[in-house]
Structure 1
Amino acid sequence: MAISCTPAINNLPLNRHPTPVSITVNNERYFADHPLLLQLDRCSDSTQLKQIHARMLRIGLFSDPYSASKLIQVAAYSEVSSIQYAQKVFDQIPRPNLYSWNALIRSYASSQEPVNALLIFIKMLHGSDELPNKFTFPFLIKASALLSALSVGKGLHGMVLKSEFGSDLFVLNSLIHFYGECGCFDMAYRVFMSMPKRDVVSWNSMIVGLAQGGYAEESLDLFFRMEGENVRPNDVTMIGVLSACAKNLDLELGRSMHLYIRRNGIKESLVLNNAILDMYVKCGSMEDAKRLFDKMGVKDIISWTTMLVGYTKVGDFSAARSLFDTMPCQDIAAWNALISAYEQNGNPKEALATFNELQLRKEAKPDAVTLVCVLSACAQLGAIDLGGWIHVYINKHGINLNCHLTTALIDMYSKCGDLEKALEVFHSVDNRDVFVWSAMIAGFAMHGRGREAIGLFLKMQEAKVKPNSVTFTNLLSACSHSGLVDSGRGIFNQMESVFGVVPGVQHYACLVDILGRAGNLEEALDVIDNMPISAGASVWGALLGACRLHGNIDIGERACSNLLELEPQNDGAYVLLSNIYAKSGRWDKVSELRKLMRNSGLKKEPGCSLIEVDGNVHEFLVGDNTHPLSKNIYVKLDEIATRLTSVGYVPMKSQLLQLVEEEHVQEQALYLHSEKLAMAFGLISISPSQPIRIVKNLRICGDCHAAAKLISKLYNREIVLRDCYRFHHFKGGSCSCMDYW
């Protein structure tokens, strides 16, 4: 973070006065035992503090330097006042002593606006005769750490080296912590190694900093060095070490460290036990975690929430829910853990049900984290009504629309089919980070509006927001969905040379998809053969999908073989190759693949379509007859079939995965696809003025795509369908994808 005071700090000469003179020094304690000052220590509320202040002014005690500094101390960082009042008291002192300056700097360094600590310090240097001491610098360095103000901290470091405190243990420990917080571990280590003397805090600052900064191995190495130098670790040390074990997913070493703590008599604390618990959970050993959890005499909400997250992480949602129900205090963090677990593990319906329960209980208030999780669940289900309600809730309750929430809203509206609403959210905020821009580019991509995605990318560059890996994945997807082959090639080639983003497997998969869908299969294969990294399943899958589109059996067989080598249980690979064979009339090959799938115990993932009506999400499977309105749905489906036939519609039997001899059975199999059931339900349940919005788990088949175009024209309805690849907006007999998907 850039702060305007940086040049001032860097350019200030520390030794302005060879022998600084101050008329107020803190050791002039003539009135230390004055009754009013004794009352200050027992002050219980702000009213009493102000009364004491007034009496000090009346009797002239406030003019005594020690007495004034004592009042500043209580006003600055006791529980009975506020920093604003402390500032007002400070401003009344004509010549505050260093103790008073330090009290105010310390208070601001721990406040919501630590930058004020640095501004007060500059005021002290310019407007008083006081010079910083060994207590001043740690507060200033702490403020710089909170602000991640690296240049300011370096300036303070320079002042420390010029002063007599260059070897002060407390100051140097603060610098180690500062550099660690800023991610400058080389500098932190240099300070650490230059110290004439190190205490356990010095070692802890390095060990904890490295562990939290993602340098787990280095953190552990330092711990073993610490042991070798006979420095006794404490509970803080072990928290850092356990964090490193958790990041390395090293359960064996984590267990050894747990045993080390017991054998070496390291003081047990709730924080330490929570760290051990967290290590077991992150390493996937719920048995060890539960054993410790059950033994813990004292537990807090962190203990309970850690266990809750652990159960959800291993997929034991029953145990997670049971634990949640027995929690003594279900704060919003616990609710968030449960909702997030459902949402992130493919259970969006359960996530929304849990959120509804939270609303009904009214025991905890949803926060930004809750809403981000719920919006993500809405996006998965296509539940735009609930997603829109969340948007209204955010505005109604004045919740700050931070970048996380903005991204979640854009993602929700985009995935629910309302791109204009997503754009409205995007344009309504001033603060847009790379994820906000990337989410909007993704919205354009999934709706097939590639040129607009590229245009937004150019505006992103004008706004000087640096794109990341996700940005380019979304941008390349936009080119793929819109057939922008030259643009896709150009963007891919500029990734590393212009923007410094090294293409990963996903980017290569996008490039292969761009080339393959455009029919450039040989070029796509050449890209794969010359990749500097191993071609993952997504790369071969993209090529196989392109071969299905263009009916290329030879390259399709090679792509399928490589894909199954990487993912032997990938049922989608068999399905795509089956579709290639079916398209060419090679039913013998289709039968062979079906037999191979049966022998391997693989089954094609069933088609599933979701549709939201009046805030409720309805689910349809292939041939589903479980819906309460199933009879009406099939009556509507028969009507649709009749009307389609009357305008010359012929079912695409090549879309069947296996050869079915009977003609009527072939047609019936196609009519039972889940998206057709959802369309029929939408026609009888949703007002003609509203679009029918459907979300499908698989790629829409060619027959359903052709039928949807005609249905939109025959019934004069807008149908918005999202499959696993992109959006299709059907209206007036045509589709937004222009049959390019």
Structure 2
Amino acid sequence: MAAPASLVLGPPLSGPTIPSSSDNLLFELLDSYPDTASLRCAHARMLRLGILSHPHPAGRLVAACCLRPSCRDPAYALRIFRHHVPCPDLYTWNVLIRAHASSGLPHLALLLFSQLLRDSPYRPDKFTFPFAVKAASDASASGEGRALHGMVVKSPFHSDVYVLNSLVHFYGAIGHLEIAQQLFDRIPERDIVSWNTMITAAARVGCCDEALGMFKEMEECEGVTPNDVTVLAALSACGKKGDLEMGRWVRSYVDRGGIRQGLILWNAMLDMYVKCGSLEDAKKLFDWMPQKDTISWTTMLVGLAKAGDFEAAGHLFDEMPSERDIACWNALISAYEQGGRPKESLELFRQALAAEVRPDQVTLVAALSACAQLGAMDMGRWIHTYMNKNGVGLNFHLATSLIDMYSKCGDLEKALEVFHSAGEKDVFVWSAMIAGLGMYGEGKAAIDLFLQMQEARVRPNGVTFINVLASCSHAGLVEEGKRYFEEMLPVYGVEPGIEHYGVMADILARAGRFEEATGLIARMPMTPHASIWGALLGACAIHGNTRLGEEAGDRLLELEPGNDGAYVLLSNLYAKSGRWESVGRLRKEMKDRGVRKEPGCSSMEVDGVVHEFLVGDISHPHRDKVYAKLEEMLWRSKELGYVADVSQVLQDVEGEGARERMLWLHSEKLAMAFGLISTSGPSPIRISKNLRVCEDCHAAAKFVSEAYDREILLRDRYRFHRFSGGRCSCGDFW
């Protein structure tokens, strides 16, 4: 837009110059110009007059470029500074550092600060330090921030409230709350900014009790009245802590204290209610809010979805008045995926693509996780291809998700390819690949990778050790598992948690070393969790240790009366020993308690469509072909020596034939039959099951792989089984 006539500073550069008496008019116009065109016109006139060599007019021009919202252009200001201002004053340096620190260019702001120290006769003042410290905070430049702190200590501004506030913010931003608190305590006269900075820092690092304590203290002890910024920090602390009572008190304080209210504060209240699990309060506030934006709708959407009310979440999603941005789609896609509804998650992902919404990292991670849950290899591959075609960089999160997806979908080689193609790898990328190898029974390879991780100087964490120990468990590497468990704290500085004890107990019990397993449980520094007793019970079911299994089952059901898996494992124990009266007692107990066994479900993907089978399923459109192939599988397996393991039938059914028939209606076998009629070699048949594969289905899969010369990849709840030529990769140890 051209400058208005009243703001034109004179004729073009080819014309006569304006007289020096108009300098004040020039500066007045700089302070009131409406757009970039007028600013550049003023710049040209100042060049013509030769006054940019003087610090004052140069500073005024640079400040106009940096501070005026209507034509803010720090890059243009920096060009003026470097090419036309030979002797900048401290005001000009400060303006430039401030502009770049506030424009998402903190590293450039720090570079300008260094140039000030090196090239200027001026020393930083009480304005320079806060701008530079802010840049260090935004850049997460710990070393530079500490150096600035050292300079402040030696400067005349070591007690200045504004400088100290900036340092409190810096240490809070990099997670050093203790140093922030020490600086906060040294501020001679703390203002509202001091308190807000400290409370926000405490809330950010999860020290919620401290943040809320300061919120109350500031007014009661020092007479500083909280404002809307303070309330935002307090609400964040309540949400993180899940303290609904305190959150309600903060909201009542807002009403009592006359705090300025608006959309930002209402959204913070809404977020607090959702995180505290009070959907009732959240709905009331949401319905009352006179103004809503995308954040409001998305927050409410997340709350409904996380509460499992997917129907209400879907209705809210459909009712959104404005165009849905990617955050809204992500909220629902992630909620379905995390809520154990991966099919719905992928359907929403497809809808987002159809609506021409560009997925971001959050979308892709959620979609890949849904593919991993379903074993949806085709969709997972498509997402990977989409990433490559659209230049989506392979950051830590996406690399981890791709490795997890390929591992769980049955392509370990592709998972390794992604792992090796990732440049820099963080602890989660390494841990995911270790888990993938362990899932396939490649325990020694998993340990080798763990050693390579240490050579790469990546420090293992608790997740890494869970995966290393699980790899040892799947491969029967008892001594290796014991060694790494014992080395966790003294060698690696990782304290074993309840999950590590659970996996270690599983390693020992699976190997039949029950005395060591029970000894470990007795020595645990924490009360055994349900997972501990579940691991012990599972191993007892494998080895037929009824006495210890009953004890573990009783302990497990005391902690989790509704655990259907415990009833199933106990039933397995009793059925194997022919104690049908005990099986009947357990069934009655389940009925009386309202416990329902999770139905076994096996799924496989064909041409991008996921097909699911339940036990005895007759709902599939190709059921006649499936059951015909099932009969063929049975007699061909019998020809090779298959004998049904009728001890797996948990009902006292008369007749071996009836029991055998019940076994051949298991979902895994139906999925195998469908795989044989819908795919052809050499591609493997990939099946995912939600529960542990039963011993009879495991045996049958070996015979089917030999009879049809097909590789079968079966992923159950715990690991992968690769059947080929009548053998399984697990070595019958699972």
TM-score band by shorter chain is over 0.9
Q: Secondary structure at the match of 1:610?
A: strand
Q: Name the counterpart of 1:318.
A: 311
Specify which of 58, 61, 72 is matched with residue 62 of structure 2.
Answer: 72
2:219 corresponds to 1:227: yes
Shift of residue 55, structure 1, vs aligned partner = 3.6
Shift of residue 595, structure 1, vs aligned partner = 2.8
Matches within 5 A, 1:287-686: 287-327=280-320, 328-362=322-356, 364-686=357-679
Q: Name the counterpart of 2:81.
A: 90
Residues 140-166 of structure 1 deviation map (CA, whole Å, 9 limit, x = unaligned): 111111233333222212222222212
8 Å contact from structure 1 (residues 695, 722) kept in 2: yes
Q: Name the counterpart of 1:164.
A: 156
Shift of residue 81, structure 1, vs aligned partner = 5.8
Shift of residue 108, structure 1, vs aligned partner = 2.5
Output the amino acid matched with 2:262. S
8 Å contact from structure 1 (residues 608, 674) kept in 2: yes
Distance 2:693 2:256 in 1: 62
Q: Name the counterpart of 1:173.
A: 165
Q: Name the counterpart of 2:12.
A: none
Distance 2:179 2:449 in 1: 39
Output the amino acid matched with 2:133. I
Distance 2:524 2:608 in 1: 47
8 Å contact from structure 2 (residues 26, 42) kept in 1: no
Residues 110-133 of structure 1 deviation map (CA, whole Å, 9 limit, x = unaligned): 344412222221221111101111
Residues 49-108 of structure 1 deviation map (CA, whole Å, 9 limit, x = unaligned): 555434432331322322222232233455646444333222112122112211221222
Q: Which segments of 5 or more consecutive residues in structure 1 lack a partner in the other structure? A: 1-28
The alignment covers a number of residue pairs equal to 711
Q: Name the counterpart of 1:25.
A: none
8 Å contact from structure 1 (residues 469, 501) kept in 2: yes
Output the amino acid matched with 2:87. R
Shift of residue 604, structure 1, vs aligned partner = 2.1
Output the amino acid matched with 1:236. V
Q: Name the counterpart of 1:189.
A: 181
Q: Name the counterpart of 1:38.
A: 29
8 Å contact from structure 1 (residues 31, 67) kept in 2: no
Q: TM-score, structure 1 length as denominator?
A: 0.93
Q: Alpha carbons of 1:736 and 1:217: their partners in 2 closer, same or farther (altered >3 Å)?
A: same
2:711 corresponds to 1:718: yes
Distance 2:449 2:105 in 1: 35
2:93 corresponds to 1:101: yes
2:206 corresponds to 1:204: no
Output the amino acid matched with 1:596. E
Shift of residue 261, structure 1, vs aligned partner = 0.7
Q: Secondary structure at the match of 1:619?
A: strand
Query: RMSD between aligned alpha carbons?
Result: 1.7
Q: Name the counterpart of 1:688.
A: 681
Distance 1:543 1:401 in 2: 40
8 Å contact from structure 1 (residues 36, 56) kept in 2: no
2:47 corresponds to 1:57: yes
Distance 1:662 1:127 in 2: 96
Q: Which segments of 5 or more consecutive residues in structure 2 lack a partner in the other structure? A: 1-19
8 Å contact from structure 1 (residues 69, 97) kept in 2: yes
Shift of residue 638, structure 1, vs aligned partner = 1.0
Distance 1:220 1:392 in 2: 48
Q: Secondary structure at the match of 1:371?
A: helix
Shift of residue 401, structure 1, vs aligned partner = 1.5
Q: Alpha carbons of 1:211 and 1:664: their partners in 2 closer, same or farther (altered >3 Å)?
A: same
Residues 647-674 of structure 1 deviation map (CA, whole Å, 9 limit, x = unaligned): 2311110111122112221111000000
Q: Secondary structure at the match of 2:605?
A: strand
Distance 1:405 1:240 in 2: 31
Residues 440-472 of structure 1 deviation map (CA, whole Å, 9 limit, x = unaligned): 111111111111111111111111111111010
Q: Percent identity?
A: 57
Q: Name the counterpart of 1:110.
A: 102
Output the amino acid matched with 2:325. D
Residues 278-309 of structure 1 deviation map (CA, whole Å, 9 limit, x = unaligned): 11111111221121112212211111111111
Q: Secondary structure at the match of 2:343?
A: helix
Distance 1:94 1:233 in 2: 46
8 Å contact from structure 2 (residues 30, 60) kept in 1: no
Distance 1:730 1:593 in 2: 34
Output the amino acid matched with 1:473. I
Q: Alpha carbons of 1:50 and 1:447: their partners in 2 closer, same or farther (altered >3 Å)?
A: farther
